Structure formats: structure tokens, C-alpha cells
Amino acid sequence: MTARVCENCGIPDDELVLVRRVYVVPPSWDTPGSQTVIAEPELWCISCMSQYPCEIVDD
């Protein structure tokens, strides 16, 4: 049996959550900040969800 792994860090985990990755660009003195949400969902572990920007995919 193959264990499921987090698509962000690659660690095997039974409790994975479907999320969309969010890329955040902070503002600087001459440019406003922005964020980009990636359309394709990924399975992430709880640890990655708590450390990296993401949006939970609602079914």
C-alpha cells in the first residue's frame, strides 16, 4: 500500500487537505503588493498549511 504524501513538502501523511497555493508579493516603496491563487488544487499536510499561504478548497 502506498502512503499519501504532501504535494508541498513530500512527507507521508494520512491527514492531507486539498488547498490552492497562494503566491504573495509584499509591497515595496514603489509597487503595491499582490497575490496570485493557483487554480489547480494540491494535497498539503497540516504543517505546510500553517506555514505557507494557501486557500482551503471547499467541495
**pLDDT tens-digit readout, 6-54:** 999 999 999 999 999 999 999 999 999 999 999 999 999 999 999 999 9
**54 and 18 Cβ atoms separated by less than 8 Å:** no
What pLDDT sits at residue 7? 96
- Per DSSP, the three-state class of 43 is strand
pTM: 0.82
**49 and 19 Cβ atoms separated by less than 8 Å:** yes
DSSP state of 29: T
What pLDDT sits at residue 58? 87
Q: What is the dihedral of CA 38, 5, 44, 8, to 10 degrees?
A: -50
Give the residue extent of every domain in the chain: 1-59
Rounded to an integer, what distance in angstroms lies between the CA atom of residue 18 and that of residue 2? 19
- Confidence band of 3 (pLDDT split at 50, 70, 90): confident
